[in-house]
Structure 1
């Protein structure tokens, strides 16, 4: 822990309660806690080392205590609250400043506040995560990473909204079988650890170690998924796939060339200035897969002038020869009327290309920066002025 303190729990034959031991190697002094805990406790620390969780095994209420760097107990979870019934698995994590704690009990991730007051069961709203191997908070406490040991996926949650932000494929087999040995119980703690800079995840057991370069991972199809409710999904600065599922959702892919799926409900697809990767040959753009009745397209103004960005060029995207032929004919429908939003007039060029439609948005009234979005399998005749709104 912080201050170079080493904390040890104890195991012994039989069963019973005992204190934990702390040791400062600089002064060579051992100290015992004044509070006793059931034997065979697992320890895990926050990234900054200022807090630790102690979770004894073998009790049906999955006892959990929060320690500071002294180390002293500063909070203890009440017994049998919420969905907390079952033994500790050794899989739990605490964020910096102890603002949030996550504990795996009876197959579900239980979330607590900084006083270990029970909040909710995270997996009750995410049944797709059914085989939890381990978890860890990011160093800034803004994200919780959960590893599924059967699907070999990493789920990244926002700790502000507790919604899934991204889903990644590990790219290796995470062993969740009993053949993994004693470590299957997670009794050694911290079997999933994310580095302080967020660049690497280590997944290990008593038989193997998997090192994952998080910078190389790309979201899998449907990388951000919400199954119900009116939610706001925001992507990262990479190529994302956002899937709103049921409900009236707001989807903003952020930077990168993203794929947005609204699902059922009246959804808003939001495109902010600077999103996507500009390309004069129209090779990079955000894509909406299911624009339908009741959905809206929302664009913001441009941050700066980009050379040649008012030139719309269709080349290999239409055919290999780069020429417009009968098979790749364009139907261009330009709205002559301007959609007035506040003091800013926004103009949209609707371009039909086969079964798809391109929307070119001029949101700033200044030459030099237009935004392009591809609407897959949407006829240009179905894109009407009332589908546009301010971002």
Structure 2
């Protein structure tokens, strides 16, 4: 059996407010062409179909057109990611039931709201009917909602990972029910952060930190684990565990400028080692970074042809009209940002060593010198320095209590008793 693994499309994502619709159209057509060529038995999208909970209508249409085309090639399962709306997935799933063809289940949207068991086991026959694919699907479980699933785990660090470990163990048990080792191929897909994975720097960084990391050893021992959430394509875990992040199909941020994007084709059969083959994607524009002088940029201009470019120009003195000069040197690049790294205006951070030179750092004198260097008029300097000195010398004053604090103080001073309200107080 063959499976095609793709992930993290993030339809609707822009780059510094620049639309990437043409790139998305091109790369989705490339993914469809790969599927046509490979003819997989199953297609798995492991989450983050869209970039926001409320995607634009054009992005919903773009997704459905591509997914409908993929579903005509092979049954397609789309997992809910942390950027995807469960309610929207419900709607898209309902739309799929309105298809006129007999096999309405070829396109499925799986999600979790976090208050019910999100895991699902799905069965698919291979094209020739000789094998059965059993897929355990675990959509993204939000850390703020998992307490509904695991009230006994509490909120200590590691509780979220412990909850996911239990979920995965339960899914593996269900996956093995009725397992036929001579016919069945077991797969697992999830949208989560595995501790050994290297983020691509365009993820929501608060969701790829240690408190939300699960252990690779907790992943089910199956033929292949199709993972989503991390944008850099990469294997995870040890060699005995065949798990991989398919990654995003486009470079989403300049932190991914050195990454090669791909989709993954999985070839597995009962009793045989799984073969994993990444298929490189070429449709997206390359994101490139440059840090050097204008002369160095001019010498390297050809390598930035057609790329989104973020340029940091190094110089000794400020360069007027820097953006125009950079644009003239790389006319074939799409300039996203131009920054100046000028030695004459480069700020230095004051440290304890500066204060140790003469025993004590005169903050007022340093601030006065700064105002002079920036060209602040003399009268304004005097006024600013006077206000600055007042702020430095003013003692810290306690903030007045808030209305809520005042009410609480009054209540504590006169505690309520039933006798005070006309009743009889009862001792306990």
User: Normalising by structure 1, what TM-score?
Assistant: 0.23
More strand by share: 1
Max Rg structure: 2
Higher relative contact order, structure no. (Cα contacts within 8 Å, ≥ 6 residues apart): 2
